[in-house]
Structure 1
C-alpha cells in the first residue's frame, strides 16, 4: 500500500503540473514517508519542486509543542531558508501575506477520523482562503485510521468552531482528501483542488479498517500515541466537556 505522499514522491508525472509553480506544504509530525522521512525534507530533495513556504497546524510543523493549547510562532526554516507559518499562533486562518507566498499548497495531514480534531478545521480554512485568493490545493491522502464507520450526532448549524468545522457526525468516515471534496461541495467553494489518492487502501479490510499493519504509526499530535487511541478518540474526547 502507498500513501499519497509516497506516490507523489515516486511518480514524476504526478508532480509535472507543478513545474514553474511555487509550492508550499502544510504538514505535521506524522507527515512522513514509509521510511519516516518528514515530508518537508523529502520534498526539498526533489529537483522539480520549488518549495517557497511551509505551514504548521496545531502542535507545529514538526510537533514542537506538546501542550494542547500552546501556540506556535512563525519562523524561518534554518536549513531551507523558507518561511514556516503557524496556523495555530496569532492566526487560525492564513493571512493575505501567507497566501501570497505560494501558488500551490500541498496538504499532508494524518487525521484521526473525528470531527473535533483541529486538522480538519485547518483544511477548511485553507480551502476557503484558496478560493478567495485563486490558489490551488492538493491533498496527499492518508488512511482514516477509524475507517468507514459513521457514528455520533451531526454538528448543529451555528455551532461551528475550531473544533467543529461543519455539519458532520462525530466520526465522519472520510479521509482528508474526501473531506476536502466535502467542504468544497458543502460550502460552495470554487477551488483548483486535487487529491493524490492512496494505492491499495482497503478501509473495510481486517484487522483494522485498512491501516497497513506493516506501517509505523507516528503521532500526528503528541497524545495520539497509537491506533487504539485514534479509534477510541471520538468517544473518549467527549470527557473533556464534562466535570469528571
Structure 2
C-alpha cells in the first residue's frame, strides 16, 4: 500500500527534520566549546590553618611578625534586618592566634621597622608591649638581632610569618637566619608560614662573597634569588649556614596554587619605604644607591621610584624633588635640598637588575660634581663584593657587568633546585 500525504503534511515533515538538524548542530557546538575554568585562588601559609593549628595546640608560642602577618577569616555579618551572613576580613595573625583558647601565645618578636612597620630603615627598634593583646614585644633590631636564650626559655614552638620581597639586602631573611639559629640551639621547632615572593620569577646579581657578610647580606646568594621565604629557610638549613652547621627543626607551611611565575601584588606594604608594586620591582636595582650620595626618594611619597642628588642639575637630569622628614624617614638623605634626577614610575616592569641608572649617575658625578666621593662604605656591603664598584669605575657597561655574574648564578641555580617547593 502506498500512503499518500497532502502537500501541507510534507512541508510539516520537512520543517521538523530541519529543526532537529539545527538542534543537533547547536548541541554539538556547545559540547565543542571548552569549559570555563575557575581561576585558582592563591592561599598563603598563614591562611592554611588546617596544616598548623594542631601543631600549636596547648603549646607556649612565640610569633615573629610584623604588619604583613595577616590572615583572612570568615566573620559573621548582618546582611539585612535579622538576616545573618558572613564576609572575609583580614586579621593580624597575632590577634587570631591569641584569641584561640587552645594556644598560649607568650610573646612577639619584631624585626626591622618594628611590629607595626613604622620605624625607619636602620633605626633601632625598642622592646615594648602590644596595647591590643597585652603581649610583650621583643625587638630583633635593637640590642640583639638574635633571640637570647632567656627570651626563649618557656617557649615550645616559634611561628615565623613575615612578607619578604626577594632581595638579599632586605633584612627579614637575616632575621629568619638568627631565629632559626637560636631555636636550633634551644631545640625549639620553628613553623614558617610561607608567603609569595613578588620578585620570585628571576635570579640576578652578584653572589655575595662571605668576607663581606653583614646583616644586609649573610649568605652566598645573588641579590635576587628567586625563592619564597619558606624555600629560603630550607636552604639555610640544608646548606648548614647556621652557626657550627647546626640545623633547625623547621616546618614550612606551603602556599597553595603558587608558582614562581605567579604575579603577586602585596596587599600590605612590607616596609615604610616600599609603598607599592613599582617600588618593590625597582628595589633590587635601586638599593645600590643607598651606598652612594644619590637619594632613592626617602622623605617623599615616591620612595624607590625616583632617584636624584643636589650635586647634579636639570641640564642633564630632568626630574626634581626635595626630601623632607616623613614616616619611615625621619632623617632622609639630602633633607630639604632640591635633588635632580629621574622619575622611574613609568619604567616597564623589570625581570633583571638594571645598572644603567647607577652607571649614569656615577659618570655624571665624575664629570660634573664638585663632591669628591660618589660611593660610601655601605656600597660594598649591599653589593656583597668589591668587584662591582671596581667595574663601574673602570667604565664597564651594564651588560658587561651582568655577564660577569653568569657562572656564579648558574652554580647557585643548581644549589637552589634542591630546596624548591614550587615550579
Q: Give the TM-score taking structure 2 as reference length.
A: 0.53
The structure with the larger Rg is 2
Contact kept in structure 2, 1:147 and 1:203, CA below 8 Å: yes
Query: In structure 1, the residue corresponding to 2:64 is in which secondary structure?
Result: strand
Per the TM alignment, residue 101 of structure 1 is displaced from its structure 2 partner at its CA by 4.0
Corresponding residue for 2:174? Answer: 121
Matches within 5 A, 1:208-227: 208=263, 211=264, 217-227=267-277
Distance 1:155 1:225 in 2: 27
What is the 5 A alignment of 1:1-244? 1-8=42-49, 11=50, 14-34=52-72, 35-65=89-119, 67-186=120-239, 187=241, 188-205=245-262, 208=263, 211=264, 217-244=267-294
Higher relative contact order by CA 8 Å / sep ≥ 6: 1 or 2?
Answer: 1
Q: Which SS does the other structure have where 1:52 is aligned?
A: strand
Partner SS for 2:206: strand
- Answer whether contact 1:117 1:163 (CA < 8 A) is retained: yes
Contact 1:121 1:165 in 2 (8 A): yes
The unaligned stretches of length 5 or more in structure 2 are 1-41, 73-88, 295-423
Structure 1 residue 54: Cα displacement = 0.6
Contact 1:115 1:169 in 2 (8 A): yes
TM-fit CA distance, 1:222? 0.5
Deviations along 1:21-50, one digit per CA (max 9) or x if unpaired, are: 211111111111243321111211223221
Unmatched 5+ stretches in structure 1 = none
Deviation digits for residues 88-132 of structure 1 (CA, Å, limit 9, x no counterpart): 111111111212142211111100100000101000011111111
SS state at 1:170 partner: coil
For the 8 Å contact 1:23–1:52, the answer to whether it is kept is: yes
Contact 2:66–2:111 at 8 Å: present in 1 too?
Answer: yes
Normalised TM-score (structure 1)? 0.90
What is the aligned-residue RMSD (CA, Å)?
Answer: 1.5
Distance in 2, Cα, partners of 1:218 & 1:78: 21
Q: Give the match's secondary structure for 2:196.
A: coil
- Offset of residue 150 of structure 1: 0.5
CA distance in 1, matches of 2:121, 2:213: 20
Aligned to 2:397: none
Contact 2:118-2:272 at 8 Å conserved across structures? no
Q: Following TM superposition, by how much is the alpha carbon of 1:144 offset from its aligned partner in structure 2, in angstroms? A: 0.3
Q: Distance in 2 between matches of 1:14 and 1:40?
A: 14
Q: In the alignment, is the contact (CA less than 8 A) between 1:217 and 1:227 conserved in 2? A: no
Aligned residues: 233
* Contact map agreement 2:61 2:155 (CA 8 A) in 1: yes
